[in-house]
Amino acid sequence: MAQDLRILVVETDPARVREIVDALTSAGWRDVKALAQISGLDRTVKEFAPDIVLIDLANPDRDTLEHITMASETTKRAVALFVDHTDDDLTKAALSAGVSAYVVDGLKMNRIKPVLETAIARFKIMRQMQSELDAAKQALEDRKTIDRAKGFLMRQRGLSEDDAYGLMRKTAMDQGRKVIDVANALVTAADLLS
C-alpha cells in the first residue's frame, strides 16, 4: 500500500490525536494533518486535499454523516469512520453516503493500518466501478445520439442505415472529429429544422 498518502485525522481530544498520528507514523504514513472540530472539515479538505479522511466519533448522527459526506467529497477520497456505537440505520446511512470504512467499537491503534488499507482498497474498487458505470451510460447515450443522427440522414437523404453511418464516419474523418461529435451536430440541426 502506498505510504505517500495525505491523511486528515478528525478528532477532538488532543491526547487521542497524538495516539492516532503516532500510530499512522509508525505504520509508515508521514503526511498527516489533524483537525479538532468537524465544523472545519470542508475548509481543511479544500486546503489540505487529503487522500483519506479518518474520523473518530463516539456517537454519529445523520446530520454529522451528511456533513462528513458533503465536506469530505467521498467520491474523491476514502473516508474511514470509527464510531463507538451505532444502529442499523446509521450503518446503512454511512455506507450509502460513500464512507469507505465504517468501524464500530471505536478506533484501536493496532487496527488502524489494516482498516485504512482496506478503506483505500474499497474506495479504489468503488471508484473504478463508478467510472465503468459512467462510461457505460455515456456509451449508451452516444449510441442513442448516433442512431438518431442516422435516422435523420436516412430520412433526409434516402440512405440505408449502413450508408448513413458511413457518411457520418467519413465526415468525422475528413474534419478530424469523432463520429459522436458529427452525430451531435446532426441531431442539433435536425431539432432546429423540426
Q: What is the mean pLDDT of each run of 10 residues along the chain (194 residues)?
A: 78 90 90 88 88 84 76 78 84 82 82 86 87 95 97 94 96 96 94 84
- 177 three-state secondary structure: coil
Nine-digit cell at 10? 478528525
Q: Which domain holds residue 61?
A: 6-107
The predicted model scores a pTM of: 0.68
Residue 165 lies in a domain: yes
**Rg, Å, the chain Cα set:** 25
Instruction: Kindly state whether residues 100 and 165 are assigned to the same domain.
Output: no
Cα–Cα distances in angstroms (integers) from residue 80 to residues 4, 5, 21, 100, 122, in the given order: 17, 14, 15, 6, 11
Given this model, what pLDDT does residue 168 score? 96
Given this model, what pLDDT does residue 1 score? 46
Residue 155 lies in a domain: yes
Residue labelled with grid coordinates 487521542: 16
Residue 32 lies in a domain: yes
Instruction: Kindly state whether residues 171 and 82 are assigned to the same domain.
Output: no
Instruction: Kindly state whether residues 100 and 154 are assigned to the same domain.
Output: no
The count of domains in the chain is: 2
- Contact residues for 85 (Cβ-Cβ < 8 A; gap 6+): 58, 59, 104
Residue 117 lies in a domain: no
CATH number, position 80: 3.40.50.2300
Residue 119 lies in a domain: no
CATH number, position 171: 1.10.10.10
Given this model, what pLDDT does residue 99 score? 83
Residue 112 lies in a domain: no
Cα–Cα distances in angstroms (integers) from residue 2 to residues 59, 116, 124, in the given order: 31, 11, 13
Given this model, what pLDDT does residue 3 score? 62
Instruction: Kindly state whether residues 153 and 100 are assigned to the same domain.
Output: no
Residue 127 lies in a domain: no
Instruction: Kindly state whether residues 103 and 10 are assigned to the same domain.
Output: yes
Instruction: Kindly state whether residues 140 and 103 are assigned to the same domain.
Output: no
Nine-digit cell at 82? 470509527
